[in-house]
Each structure stands twice: as structure tokens, then as C-alpha cells.
Amino acid sequence: MALTTPHACHKFRTLSEVPNKTLPGARVHDAGTGEISLGEGTTMHYLADGLRLSMNWLDYLILATYFVVVLGIALVAKRSVNSSLDFFLSGRSLPAWVTGLAFVSANLGATEILGMAANGAQYGAYTVHWYLIGAIPAMVFLGLVMMPFYYNSKVRSVPEFLLRRFSPSSHLLSSSLFAIASVLIAGVNLFALGIILRTLLGWPLPVSIVVSGVFVLAYIVIGGLTSAIYNEVLQFFVIIAALVPLTVLGLIRVGGFDGLIDKVVASEGAQFLSAWGGTGFGEQNPLGTNWLGITLGLGFAISFGYWTTNFAEVQRSLSAKNLSAARRTPLIAAFPKMFIPLIVVLPGLIALVIAPSIGGPSSAYEYNQAIPLLMRELLPNGVLGLAVTGLMASFMAGMAANVSSFNTVFTNDIWQAYVKPRMPDKHYVTVGRVITVIGVVVGMGTAFIAASFSNIMNYMQTLFSFFNVPLFATFILALFWKRMTAKAGFWGLLLGTLAPVAFYASYSTGYVPLSTDQAANMTAAIIAFIVNVVVSVPISLATRPKAASELEGLVYTRASAQDKGEHAPGDGAWYRRPALLGWGAVALAALCYVPFTL
């Protein structure tokens, strides 16, 4: 925070004044360090060249204050970390509103804010699919159906459930896949945080990545999950406090909602502000896919896969103090989730009006610069510092969520299970800390892999279709079909993971023609799901299932899996009833489609 950029930095008032020369100290890197772009057919640009913010002492003071508070939490949290359960699941002591907000902000990380604003600028109202059909039904399903399961079986991870339901082989496979996936995603987060540091503050990318990595590391190693979760809740409020003024000023600039709609329709056509227009077979729309791809690929396979098996998310619910609170966690999170587009996608559309050529070959800006662009255009010092703090905090939250779930799975499901079983509890706390260091360092490495991809959002979505969708297919079969056998679990998961990888490889090498990467991701997800089921079912029928007595609490038809758990005083209140919260969220999400459909 003490680097010398703010005072000497020029303040550019208009878009045309932006220099194209390379900033001193920010050398142009190879392999597209500045080339994240969220769209097909967009020319790549070097981020640091076109966009710099003029931070003053007040902005830095705000940023520093946040990090002092966050590290303070970590230090205090350290005093309460006594057992490995404390370190990994916060001792299961947190109330539902805290875990609910942590749940939604674990998702409000690196790609979410910049990426979805970018999608707003590129795809318009179609972006709301990621918030409504692509999130709410799966979150409600997690709360109503899956949570009793996770919680009653006292599993600390999804792979651990597979161990009890199947065998060590599928357990080790899924743990390893999960570890690989979380390190890759941590790399994307670090890369994005590095990009933002470089864009906002002028730090070179490698320095930014290392600084971010070290900070996340210090934070998690010192405090464990409790501090990570507290940070997530805190950053949620800070990022809201930053994005609301940004959106309000943006709306004033473009003449309110009416002015925004008029200008966007004038330049992009009315369909740009619809969610389902042109999604019939053979019709044209910006997403390049049809309603089937949106509902089955995004709404079912990717969404259910992500929300119900992504341990970074599930872990937030498991930290709740009882089953009732655990079930309410994703349900409470569903409500803020559906309104986040108002302060994320809307700024993307506003950026499209302020810089009409954004993302185009002649523009100095790419789509994922939508929010930084508005910050520079609209925010005076003070609120600007708040916005930078909010962005930094959201990157930290996404990264911390990844790393903490990575160390949980590695320690419990790989180390404790297969390398050094039956050690004292203290040993596993130490291993958890060591592997966190290793995870972040490897994450710094994969950040440079992520830097070689031209599109981080597509990269993320592709990773979800590789890792989360097959896991979800295996999981759902294991849950609802007691005939499913251990061999089927292993081979279904393995081939279900290899199939979308193979499909994506043939898409990216041009063997399979598809119009956009989004279409490819959604198709890969559908393929992953189908291959998994098609492999699992015949193998199950050909092999011998586990005895019913071994499945107690592990399949949905056994009564104990549906045990609603003890009720704490007050849980009977109507506003805490999971079914009401869940179906209320689904109904509200359906209503949210109305403005984009009529």
C-alpha cells in the first residue's frame, strides 16, 4: 500500500485522453498478461495501458483500514482455534445469517464482479440467467434436499460422502480432482486480483500476484476458516456500499433507467434487453445457444453441479450451528443473490453507454474493465477508495474460500485418509496449515496458466463443467438410487470427467464447430452429465450393491437421511421455515424474469 503511484498519476477526464503508451514500471508481459477478455471476437488489449485510477491518501487510508481490521480478526480468531473442527468448520457455531452471507459472498469473488459486469456489457440482459435459472433453483435444492444429508452424516467434504457411500477408490479420485480444480480456480482468482492491482495501482502483474498470494496466505494460516468467513461477511457489506453509489451515479450519467433503456435499445436493439429473445432453435442471440442449452446446460448441469458439490460453498453451510441453520444458509443466500445483478450487471450496461465501443477492436477497453472504467469516470476520492477496497476484498474472499476448502479436502480426504491416518488432532491442524502454504504457492503458479487464457470467465465455466458436473451426477445417483454400486461410482466419475475434457479439446482445436465458448461450456456440461449416467447405470446393474444396512443415512430413501434435526428455540417461526424460504426464492426469481421477458 505504500507504493508510489497515486500523486504522480495523471487524471484523465475523457476517454480520448487515455494514452496508449506503456506505463513506466508496468512492462508489457508475454502470454497475454493483460489480455483477459470476456468475449469471442474481441481484440485483446493491455489492461494497464488504458486505465489507471488516481488514488489519493484518503483512498489508501480506507484500503489500509480494511486490511488492518481483517488481519486483526485473523489474530483474534487464532485465539479461538483449538481443535481441527474449529479450524475447518468453525466449530459449527455460526448463526444462519452469517453463514448465509458468507455463502453468497464466497461466490461474489474474482470473476463474479468484473466478469458479470463484463457479461452485462457484452450479452446484456441474458446475463441474468447466471443469477436466476443458473443459481436460485440449485441453491434451493441444496438447502431443502441436500443439506440434511451433508449435515446428518457429519461429512466435512463431498469426497468424504462418496467414501462412505462407495469405496476408497472413488473417494481418492474425487478428492484428487477436487484438489486439482481448487488450485486451478485459486490461480484464476490470484490472476484476477493481480490484474486489478496492476490496473488500479500500476503494480506489475507478478508483484501483484505474489503480494495477493502472501496476504491471503497469512490470513488463512493465522486464522483458519472462521476468519475467512468473517472476512467474507465484512467484504459483502463493503462491496455493496461501493457498488451502490457507483450504480446510482452511472444511472444519473445516462439519464436514469429510461435513458439507459433508450440508449441501449438504440445501439444494440431491443433483444439485448431481453432474457429469452431469440433462444429458439435456429434463432440468433448474443449467447450463441438455445433455451435447451440454457435450461439443461446452465440451469441444471453447471448450476446444480456448482452449487451442490462445490465445497467452497457447501462448507459455508456446514459451518452453521445446527441443521436448521445449515438448511437456511443457501436459502437466505438466494435472496441477495438475485439482486446482485442490479449492482453488477447494470453497471456493465451503463459502461456500454458511456464507452459504446467497449470490447470492440477499436476500443481501448475490454469488457472486464467495465467496472474499473465507471470507477474512474464517476467516483471522486473517498468513495473511490471504498470501491477499490470492495474489489480487493471480494477477490480476497473468493481466493480465501478456495484455499480453505482446498486445505480441508486435502487434509481430511487425502492426508488423513491415505497418507497418515490415526494421528493426534494437532497433527492435522499443522498439516492443514502447511498445505495451505503449498496450495497458495501452487495457485500463484496456476495464476500464470490462467494468464495465458484470453477469457477467464470461459476458463472458470469450463473448469466447472469438467469438475463439478460429473461429481454432481455421481452424487445425485448415489443419493437417490440405492442400487448404485462403488464400481459405478468410480468409473462414472472418471469417464464423466474425461468426456467433457475430450469434448472441449475437440472444440478448441476446431473439430466441433460451435459459435461461442458459452455454448461449448453448456454442451460440455450436458455431455459430462449424460456420460456419467450412461456409464454408471449399466455398471451398477452388473455389480453387487451394498447391503441396505450399510446405507443408513447415505441414501435418500433411508429415513435418517431426511432427519430434519433438532430445532433450536425459535426455529419454528414461519420466516425460518426452509420450505417457505426456498419456494419463496424460486417464485421471486421467476418474477425477476418478468422485466426481461415482456
Partner 1 sequence: MTDNDTAPPSPQHDASTEPAHKSKFGQLFDIRAIIGGLFLVYGVLIGAAGVFAGPQAIHKAEGVNINLWTGIAMLLVGALFLMWLKLRPLSPQTSGGEETEPM
Using the minimum distance from each CB to partner 1, give the nearer residue, 129 or 576. Answer: 576
Between CA 325 and CA 332 the distance in angstroms is 10
Contact status: 587 vs partner 1 (CB under 8 A):
no
Please count the other Cβ atoms lying within 10 Å of the Cβ belonging to residue 205. Answer: 23
3-state secondary structure of 320: strand
CA dihedral 382, 387, 388, 392 (to 10 degrees): 140
Contact status: 379 vs partner 1 (CB under 8 A):
yes
Contact status: 321 vs partner 1 (CB under 8 A):
yes
Using the minimum distance from each CB to partner 1, give the nearer residue, 62 or 177. Answer: 62
Pull the grid cell for residue 429: 491442524
Between CA 12 and CA 9 the distance in angstroms is 9
Footprint of partner 1 on residues 188-207 (CB under 8 A)?
Answer: none
Q: For residues 143 and 582, is the Cβ–Cβ distance under 8 A?
A: yes
To the nearest whole angstrom, how small is the minimum distance from the Cβ of residue 380 to partner 1?
3
Contact status: 513 vs partner 1 (CB under 8 A):
no
Contact status: 447 vs partner 1 (CB under 8 A):
no
Q: Find the binder of partner 1 among 7, 559, 575, 598 (CB under 8 A).
A: 575
Q: How many residues bind partner 1 (CB under 8 A)?
A: 70
Using the minimum distance from each CB to partner 1, give the nearer residue, 203 or 410. Answer: 410
Contact status: 558 vs partner 1 (CB under 8 A):
no
Please count the other Cβ atoms lying within 10 Å of the Cβ belonging to residue 470. Answer: 32
Using the minimum distance from each CB to partner 1, give the nearer residue, 232 or 366. Answer: 232
Footprint of partner 1 on residues 68-107 (CB under 8 A)?
Answer: 69, 73, 76-77, 79-80, 82-86, 91-98, 100
Contact status: 163 vs partner 1 (CB under 8 A):
yes
Using the minimum distance from each CB to partner 1, give the nearer residue, 74 or 209. Answer: 74
Pull the grid cell for residue 11: 487524471
Contact status: 581 vs partner 1 (CB under 8 A):
yes
To the nearest whole angstrom, how small is the minimum distance from the Cβ of residue 579 to partner 1?
14
Convert 23-55 into a string of H (helix), E (strand) and C (coil). CCCCCCCCCCCCCCCCCCCCCCCCHHHHCCCCC
Contact status: 155 vs partner 1 (CB under 8 A):
yes
Site mask for partner 1 (CB under 8 A), range 235-254, x = bound: --xx--x---x--xx--xx-
Using the minimum distance from each CB to partner 1, give the nearer residue, 93 or 430. Answer: 93
To the nearest whole angstrom, how small is the minimum distance from the Cβ of residue 411 to partner 1?
11
Please count the other Cβ atoms lying within 10 Å of the Cβ belonging to residue 495. Answer: 18
Q: Which residue has the cell 477477490?
A: 395
Contacts of 338 (CB under 8 A, 6+ apart): 131, 132, 135, 136, 585, 588, 589, 592
> Residue type for 107, please?
N
Contact status: 386 vs partner 1 (CB under 8 A):
yes
Q: Find the binder of partner 1 among 145, 221, 225, 234 (CB under 8 A).
A: 234
Between CA 93 and CA 65 the distance in angstroms is 28
Q: For residues 139 and 303, is the Cβ–Cβ distance under 8 A?
A: no
To the nearest whole angstrom, how small is the minimum distance from the Cβ of residue 102 to partner 1?
10
Q: For residues 189 and 171, is the Cβ–Cβ distance under 8 A?
A: no
Between CA 394 and CA 216 the distance in angstroms is 12
Using the minimum distance from each CB to partner 1, give the nearer residue, 124 or 489. Answer: 489
- Helix 168-201, helix 383-409: angle, nearest 10: 160
Using the minimum distance from each CB to partner 1, give the nearer residue, 47 or 378. Answer: 378
Q: For residues 504 and 564, is the Cβ–Cβ distance under 8 A?
A: no
For the chain, the maximum distance between any two Cα atoms, rounded to a whole number of angstroms, is 73
To the nearest whole angstrom, how small is the minimum distance from the Cβ of residue 128 to partner 1?
24
To the nearest whole angstrom, how small is the minimum distance from the Cβ of residue 164 to partner 1?
6
Between CA 580 and CA 332 the distance in angstroms is 11
Pull the grid cell for residue 423: 494421528
Q: Find the binder of partner 1 among 23, 64, 417, 437 (CB under 8 A).
A: 417
Between CA 286 and CA 272 the distance in angstroms is 8
Contact status: 66 vs partner 1 (CB under 8 A):
yes
Site mask for partner 1 (CB under 8 A), range 108-137, x = bound: ------------------------------
To the nearest whole angstrom, how small is the minimum distance from the Cβ of residue 119 to partner 1?
25
Between CA 180 and CA 199 the distance in angstroms is 29
> Residue type for 65, please?
T
Contacts of 333 (CB under 8 A, 6+ apart): 100, 101, 103, 104, 139
Q: For residues 576 and 517, is the Cβ–Cβ distance under 8 A?
A: no
Footprint of partner 1 on residues 249-288 (CB under 8 A)?
Answer: 249, 252-253
To the nearest whole angstrom, how small is the minimum distance from the Cβ of residue 42 to partner 1?
28
Using the minimum distance from each CB to partner 1, give the nearer residue, 295 or 430. Answer: 430
To the nearest whole angstrom, how small is the minimum distance from the Cβ of residue 486 to partner 1?
13
To the nearest whole angstrom, how small is the minimum distance from the Cβ of residue 320 to partner 1?
8
Contact status: 381 vs partner 1 (CB under 8 A):
yes
Contact status: 355 vs partner 1 (CB under 8 A):
no
Q: Name the residues that contact partner 1, by CB under 8 A.
A: 58, 61-62, 65-66, 69, 73, 76-77, 79-80, 82-86, 91-98, 100, 154-156, 160, 163-164, 168, 230, 233-234, 237-238, 241, 245, 248-249, 252-253, 321-322, 325, 328, 332, 377-383, 386, 416-418, 421-422, 425, 428, 568-571, 575-576, 581
